Chain A
Amino acid sequence: GAVVSQHPSWVICKSGTSVKIECRSLDFQATTMFWYRQFPKQSLMLMATSNEGSKATYEQGVEKDKFLINHASLTLSTLTVTSAHPEDSSFYICSARDLQGSYEQYFGPGTRLTVT
């Protein structure tokens, strides 16, 4: 099946710094990628929809200036958490929709961010 990778798989950073997370579709092209956040023992919450070559669409309550999304190619989307704070510590997961296939979304393995 289609494979989506994320890098890094985990990261620890200090409060006030920025962290970039990459999401790649390895064997398919994706005009649309999605970014989710998951706090411990909670469900996934959609943060934003990333569209190749255009601006991302953010869900209500998600600060677009804090969570910068770039989707520069059909296989790569990045999420940058700017000026990270401890409350941003979470599991960040991306997904990508296969252009050639049906409407299945394939998820990455997730990135665990810890802000100290």
Chain B
Amino acid sequence: DAKTTQPTSMDCAEGRAANLPCNHSTISGNEYVYWYRQIHSQGPQYIIHGLKNNETNEMASLIITEDRKSSTLILPHATLRDTAVYYCIVRVSIFGNEKLTFGTGTRLTIIP
């Protein structure tokens, strides 16, 4: 499994862009990078995923470096509701089952 490394915590001012980094230097060529977030006492919420191209959806943008060893999740205009733990995950596929291995994540706090 490719492991990921994320900062333990980050703060961001409300209305600003939140940039959450993730290192995955041992990622394999066919592994995707996924981002989920977990608001306190809730189940994780899917945000975005990508293979090698940058991706954007209504929630966020995902920037993956050319060597695929790191990525950045961007929340363009952070709100207080974006306060959560953000998990960067590299998908593991074993016998067709798509296991997600969660690391410790980044606790993002949006400051009013």
Q: Which residues of A are at the interface with B, using a C-beta cutoff of 8 A?
A: 1, 4, 6, 32, 34, 36, 43-46, 49, 51, 57, 91, 93, 95, 97, 103-110, 112
Contact = CB atoms under 8 A, between A and B. Distances in A.
Interface size class of B (residues with CB under 8 A): 20 to 34
Contacts of B100: 34, 46, 95, 105
A57 B49 contact: no
B99 A49 contact: yes
A32 B43 contact: no
Given A43-B102, A43-B105, A103-B32, A110 B46 contact: no
A108 B98 contact: no
A44 B43 CA distance: 10
Interface in B28-62: 32, 36, 38, 41-46, 49
A106 B98 CA distance: 12
Task: Identify which of A1, A105, A112 gathers the most chain B CB atoms within 10 Å of its CB.
Answer: A105
A49 B92 CA distance: 13
B46 A93 contact: no
Nearest to A106: B46
Nearest to A110: B43
Given A44-B102, A103-B98, A105-B98, A93 B91 contact: no
Given A44-B102, A103-B32, A49 B97 contact: yes
Given A46-B99, A49-B97, A93 B43 contact: yes
Contact of A107 (B32, B43, B101, B105): B43
A45 B87 CA distance: 13
Nearest to B46: A104
Contacts of A1: 46
Contacts of B42: 109-110
Per CB-CB distance, the 10 closest pairs between chain A and chain B, nearest first, are: A107-B43, A44-B102, A43-B102, A107-B44, A110-B43, A93-B43, A109-B43, A104-B46, A108-B43, A49-B97
